[in-house]
Structure 1
Amino acid sequence: MTAVDLPAVPRVLIAEADPWSRDLLKQVLLNVRCDARLDVCADGQQAAGLLRDKPYDLIIADWELPGVDGLSLLRNVRQQRRVPALPFILLSTRNDSASVREALPLAPTAYLTKPLDMEGLTQRLQDLLLNEGETVYCEIPALAAGMTLSVFLERRRELSDGAPLRVDVKAAVQRSLAPEGLDLKQLEEQVKTDPQITAVLIAAANSAGHHGTPVQTLSMALHKLAAGQSMNLILGLALKHNVILSDAGLKEYAERHWQLSQQTAQYARSLARMLDLDHERCYSAGILHRLGDLALLRSLQEWRQGGGELDDELIGESLVTYGASYGSALRTRWRLPLELRQLIAAIYSLEGGVYSREALVMNIAAQLAGLTEHEGIEALAKGKTARLLKVGLSELMRIRKPA
């Protein structure tokens, strides 16, 4: 495909088994051509079926697809002897010379090894999908006639991309680069207060492409994904639609939820350390517990950008009505570990008669974070959670002081 025969609106197929890598590829592509007609699938059999049914202008496929692998897809495409040749980007974790020699006779447009070079991939897509000097602008679609806020939020709940970003991801990655490469410990320090980054990395580390003990902390996720994939996923978040809150009023609400998440996480970590419990897991639960409220605020910005009316009363009502359910839907859809979800649930209420000590820590940490500076903690120290945890006023005051 050359500059003279580029389609007005390209049709692209992405075939990638890992859901988070698939989403990353989708975002990079839409960032280049927001108007692209895009089909995505997770296995080679489905990709082969789509290739039989539809004419594509570009294929991006992973070699390691289940069913029919990406190399077989490329072979089938080349056997059709289309002129000019259908652009085909082959992705693989294989970077050995034997694998490259196996693929090259089939003339892939590009052979890219994972973790992907995001800038290189973007440049390839620009060369394939844009004429020189061309840019594509996509308007934000207006709300459907008669759409109400409640119906809009109900529909968005199962489609939400999560919370807005709190951290400038490009700056965070830049500050974490060392002469020998990406410093994962420094990167963790840069992004640990961001619920969206934490949730996505934990979810990605627990996805189908990764096996072993469930990952429940940011540190574990970073090390399991390794530097290249962690950096790509974090940078990829900045490509998402509406991931930055530009609405000043909604940003104020988000700041309160971010601060409450961080306070809860800090209290939980300090108390868990004091009691010799898993303090990093408690910190993760604290950071993530307002994910739904933040995701809802992002959806409310979409509502306003589509032409919907919004005021403080509607924002408050929406948070009360939908915040918890947005969080539950995200944690389930992203398949966050059950143990981590249980700790998050304990922040809101203690159900049943037997509680883990970590669940009690989360519950009391949230209560501490909810106190104003003028409120005492004497009543909290006399409450049920503190009694079950066997902590008193002196311990709670010691925990609260650093924050």
Structure 2
Amino acid sequence: MTAVDLPAVPRVLIAESDPASRELLEQVVSSLRCDARVDSCGEGRQALDLLAQNSYDLVIADWELPGVNGLSILRGLRQQSRTPALPFILVSRRNDSASVREVLPLAPTAYLTKPLDRENLIQRLQGLLLGTVEEATNDAPVPAPGLSLSAFLERRRNVSEGAPLMTDVQVAVKRALNPGGLDLKLLEEELRTDPQVTAVLIAAANSAAQHQGGGRVQTVAQALHHLGAGQSMNLILGLTLKRCARLSVPCLADYAERYWELSLHTAEYARTMARLLDLEQERCYCAGLLHRLGDLALLRCLEEWKQAGGELDEPEEVGNSLERYGAGFGSALRTRWRLPLELRELIAAVYSLGGGVYSREALVMNMAAQMAHLPAYEGLEELARGRTARLLKIGLPELTRLRRK
């Protein structure tokens, strides 16, 4: 990223009572953004005074601040009507599950435990200071005079923030907490049906794997294991602070629900068929879940347009936009987030097999999509006679059993 590409100069408040930790935080912020305007203090009341006097892009505060603690500062900020919420990193010596439960409803951008690790700090602050402060703190993009919906979507295609959340991630994290900490297996079960969470975790894990020399991550379970409990929770909770994280326009929410259900049906058929044929089940499931990511991301951008004052003819203009731009949004997201090529190939097979030689997993994805689109109790005979079924050597009896599951 060049200096021209950097977001506007960020203003950061660091409220930390421990001089060594405060100095480390200042050093990391300055190393990432030498132009950042940093205000530091060691007491809660002083932090509140600074917040009242200045507009910040990021706050880093210690839970154990004297006077007014960091949790109280976070609670006060979340009670304000700012949309989206101010990015806030809470630092604490507490790493027990009861403390985490207390913090969760306030949705901090990150919850970091002491002693602070420099590399972890750099990873957490890179996105906020080098790429997303502007996105996280500005209001929704306002359509310029004369800007058409088509032009707006063209501009947003390569910078969209992905799909809206389709599950309540805060509830999911709470359910996965136990006295010993965060149960990653239970967290996977709670979140595996959400396309946005799935894509973000896989993308983040692959970025970390590339940095550390690890292998390619292609499932939620692999991503959670690679990232660990703390980083996974921070990423997941951070999604709730994004603009239009949940859709509120009824027409758009209805479209999203239908596309999500189609994704889930495709994913379940893919996993069941992969199990039947002794193939990689979870990778097929993820491919099915993510194949409508672009349509969901487009619906999120349509909500941005609507909330920013743009006119939207429902449902005709929504349907036309999905048909025209949905695939492009999905392709741009999968490329920008650097999802593994193998996973992208399976997603592509959902839509078309094209020419050449196909892997059995690609054939499974294509068949799963056809199954998901079939009306109830109709079309199985024709599907069994089709090319994909013949290549997989699956007949009407197997397809009938699949449909009943």
Structure 2 counterpart of 1:79: none
The letter for the 2-side match of 1:157 is: R
Equivalent residues of 1:58, 1:88 under 8 A apart: no
Equivalent residues of 2:244, 2:304 under 8 A apart: yes
1:202 pairs with 2:219:
no
Structure 2 counterpart of 1:175: 175
Structure 2 counterpart of 1:369: 372
- Segment drifting more, 301-310 vs 258-267: 301-310
CA-to-partner distance for each residue in 1:322-376, whole Å, 9 max, x for gaps?
A: 0001000000000000000000000000022200000000000000000111522
State how far apart, in whole Å, the 2-side matches of 1:47 and 1:280 are.
42
Structure 2 counterpart of 1:134: none
Change in Cα spacing, 1:141 to 1:387, as seen in structure 2 (3 Å) is closer
SS at match of 1:165: coil
Q: How does 1:217-236 map to 2 (within 5 A)?
A: 217-236=219-238
| Cα shift at 1:140 | 4.5
State how far apart, in whole Å, the 2-side matches of 1:246 and 1:145 are.
25
CA-to-partner distance for each residue in 1:305-332, whole Å, 9 max, x for gaps?
A: 1111111110000000000010000000
State how far apart, in whole Å, the 1-side matches of 2:196 and 2:61 are.
30
State how far apart, in whole Å, the 1-side matches of 2:296 and 2:166 are.
10
| Cα shift at 1:210 | 4.3
Gaps spanning 5+ residues in structure 2: where?
1-7, 14-26, 41-57, 63-89, 112-136
Structure 1 counterpart of 2:158: 158
Structure 2 counterpart of 1:339: 342
The letter for the 2-side match of 1:324 is: A
| Cα shift at 1:10 | 8.8
State how far apart, in whole Å, the 1-side matches of 2:353 and 2:109 are.
48
State how far apart, in whole Å, the 1-side matches of 2:244 and 2:365 are.
31
The letter for the 2-side match of 1:277 is: L
State how far apart, in whole Å, the 2-side matches of 1:123 and 1:149 are.
35
Structure 1 counterpart of 2:38: 57
State how far apart, in whole Å, the 2-side matches of 1:55 and 1:347 are.
46
Structure 1 counterpart of 2:353: 350
- Which of 271, 274, 296 lines up with 2:273 in the alignment? 271
Q: TM-score, normalised by structure 1?
A: 0.70
| Cα shift at 1:57 | 2.8
State how far apart, in whole Å, the 2-side matches of 1:88 and 1:303 are.
29
Equivalent residues of 1:167, 1:191 under 8 A apart: yes
Equivalent residues of 2:12, 2:36 under 8 A apart: no
Structure 2 counterpart of 1:328: 331
The letter for the 2-side match of 1:237 is: L
State how far apart, in whole Å, the 1-side matches of 2:290 and 2:251 are.
22
Q: How does 1:103-114 map to 2 (within 5 A)?
A: none
Equivalent residues of 1:11, 1:58 under 8 A apart: no
State how far apart, in whole Å, the 2-side matches of 1:49 and 1:180 are.
34
CA-to-partner distance for each residue in 1:82-105, whole Å, 9 max, x for gaps?
A: xxxxx99699xxxxxxxxxxxxxx
State how far apart, in whole Å, the 1-side matches of 2:365 and 2:109 are.
42
Change in Cα spacing, 1:123 to 1:295, as seen in structure 2 (3 Å) is closer
SS at match of 1:271: helix
Percentage of pairs with the same residue? 59
CA-to-partner distance for each residue in 1:117-143, whole Å, 9 max, x for gaps?
A: 87797799xxxxxxxxxxxx9755532
Runs of 4 or more above 4 Å deviation: 46-50, 87-91, 110-113, 117-124, 137-141
State how far apart, in whole Å, the 1-side matches of 2:139 and 2:335 are.
31
The two structures, once aligned, show a CA RMSD in angstroms of 3.4
The letter for the 1-side match of 2:239 is: L
The letter for the 1-side match of 2:202 is: I
Q: How does 1:244-263 map to 2 (within 5 A)?
A: 244-263=246-265
Q: TM-score, normalised by structure 2?
A: 0.69
- Which of 369, 379, 384 lines up with 1:381 in the alignment? 384
Structure 2 counterpart of 1:239: 241
Change in Cα spacing, 1:347 to 1:173, as seen in structure 2 (3 Å) is same
Structure 2 counterpart of 1:400: 403
Equivalent residues of 2:143, 2:308 under 8 A apart: yes
The letter for the 1-side match of 2:333 is: L
Equivalent residues of 1:349, 1:363 under 8 A apart: yes
Structure 2 counterpart of 1:285: 287
Change in Cα spacing, 1:178 to 1:123, as seen in structure 2 (3 Å) is closer
Change in Cα spacing, 1:257 to 1:383, as seen in structure 2 (3 Å) is same
Q: How does 1:120-139 map to 2 (within 5 A)?
A: none
| Cα shift at 1:12 | 2.6
Number of residue equivalences: 308
State how far apart, in whole Å, the 2-side matches of 1:201 and 1:390 are.
35
Change in Cα spacing, 1:55 to 1:229, as seen in structure 2 (3 Å) is closer
| Cα shift at 1:241 | 0.7
Change in Cα spacing, 1:247 to 1:384, as seen in structure 2 (3 Å) is same
SS at match of 1:354: coil
| Cα shift at 1:393 | 0.7
State how far apart, in whole Å, the 2-side matches of 1:364 and 1:143 are.
41
1:188 pairs with 2:188:
yes
| Cα shift at 1:401 | 1.0
CA-to-partner distance for each residue in 1:47-89, whole Å, 9 max, x for gaps?
A: 65952xx461359xxxxxxxxxxxxxxxxxxxxxxxxxxx996
| Cα shift at 1:191 | 0.8
Gaps spanning 5+ residues in structure 1: where?
1-8, 15-42, 60-86, 92-109, 125-136
The letter for the 2-side match of 1:161 is: E
| Cα shift at 1:178 | 1.1
1:211 pairs with 2:213:
yes
State how far apart, in whole Å, the 1-side matches of 2:218 and 2:110 are.
35
